[in-house]
Each structure stands twice: as C-alpha cells, then as structure tokens.
Copies of this chain bind each other. A is one copy, B any other.
Amino acid sequence: MQFTRASEYGVFGLLNLARRGPGATAMVEEVGRQEAIPPDFLAKIFRALARAGLVRSVRGAGGGFTLQRPPERITLLEVVEAVDGPIHLQPCFDPSAGCAFEAGCALCEPFAEARRLLRETLARHTLAELARRQSPRAARLTAAHAAR
C-alpha cells in the first residue's frame, strides 16, 4: 500500500516550478538537478502531468515546463492521480476490471468510505501550501534520518 516514487517526484517537480513564481518556465534538466531526480525519469513524469493538464510544455530551444494553473489551485490529489492513476484501494474499484458480484459485498462500503476520505484528505492540500514550507529537495538531501 504505497504511492510510487514517480508521484513523489512529480510533487517535488511541481513544487520547484511553483517556487519560481507565476508563469516561470524551467527545463526538466534543471529541475531534475535541483531536486535530485534522474532527469530522464522526471521528463517522463512531466509528460504525464502535461497530459493531465497540470503543466504546459513549451517545445524547442528555450522551452520547458510551466504550471498551467496557479499553485493554490493544484491539489496533491490531482498530482498523485495524474502520475499513479486513480486511487482505487480495491482492484474491483477499477471500472476496467469490474466487480464480480451480483450484489454488493461487505467490503464495498467500508473501502469506498476509506477511498473517499483518503482522496478528500489529499485534495485539501495545495501546491501553494506545500511550497510555503519547503526548500529545494537536493539542498535538504543529505543522510538518512529516522523520521516516521
């Protein structure tokens, strides 16, 4: 039960963009260096964020990525779902899989509730709020500490 590295990197990448102020454009290479994320991997992640409409890409020399919306209107939920795909909690919650029961089973209600709560919680946090308490990742990345 974990989110992926990719979605974590996605958040850090967008926070980096957000810190540059409104309308700023940055190359994936530079963001990757500052956030200590493999640039080729971050590029793949940013393409997913672009497809989801969270970020706008500018091609060609002098290009890069820009936040499509002000950071106070991009939520943590949107970012992780754009990268990892929708949060289902149960395999059968994926419409492409489908439920195998005639009538609802005991699991349906509690997990649907848990899913709703989880998504609401992540939706409450915006990039603007997260950016306020966060410096670039590479600067903080030194040795392991035993938090949580």
| CB of A131 closer than 8 Å to a CB of B | yes
With A3-B1, A8-B90, A140-B101 in contact, do A121 and B117 touch (Cβ < 8 Å)? Answer: yes
Report whether over half of chain A's contact residues are helix, strand or loop; otherwise say mixed.
mixed
Interface residues in A, total, Cβ within 8 A: 56
* Stretch with Cβ within 8 A of B (4 or more), from A20-28, A44-52, A56-64, A108-116: A108-116
Residues of B within 8 A of A2 (CB): 1, 88-91, 93-94
What is A's interface to B at a CB cutoff of 8 Å?
A: 1-5, 8, 11-12, 15, 76, 84-85, 87-95, 98-108, 110-114, 117-118, 121-122, 125, 130-131, 133-134, 137, 140-148
